Amino acid sequence: MDYIHLHEMQFYGYHGALPEETKIGQRFTVSLSLAVSLEEAGVTDDLDKTVNYAEAYAVVKEIVEGEPVKLIEAVAERIASAILTGFGDKVEGCRVRVIKPDPPIPGHYRAVEVDITRGRFS
């Protein structure tokens, strides 16, 4: 299987379980890996035979910067669902990593993250 990776896309959203997270907002980082057959696109040099990176980015941006949810798990599921339905049979599966670098919880850590894989794998 071939993959397209969009690494560490940066967004500002209002997701969180605490009231201040939905008022103030915070940074989110998303990485997306798409399981896609790339051979035909590579041979023909035809954008229609692959997934347009700008369109995939726009899908993620709309979700992360859109309607707030409490959990980054929900953000990741929404992204995976939108990618798998929006790009039809071109995307066999996807891996979504949603990172919250500055959650309002005490302690010393770099970030919190969820990492999910969804798809139509045979």
pLDDT value at 122 more than 70: no
pLDDT one-digit tens code per residue, 42-55: 999 999 999 999 99
pLDDT band at 84 (very low <50, low <70, confident <90, very high): very high
* Catalytic pick among 49, 70, 90, 100: 100
Taken in order of first residue, the domains within the chain and their CATH numbers are 3-119 (3.30.1130.10)
pLDDT value at 38 more than 70: yes
The mean pLDDT of 101-113, rounded to a whole number, is: 89
Predicted TM-score (pTM) of the model is 0.94
Q: Is 100 an active-site residue?
A: yes
- Cα–Cα distance between 35 and 88 in angstroms, integer? 12
pLDDT value of residue 121: 65
The mean pLDDT of 99-121, rounded to a whole number, is: 90
The mean pLDDT of 85-113, rounded to a whole number, is: 93
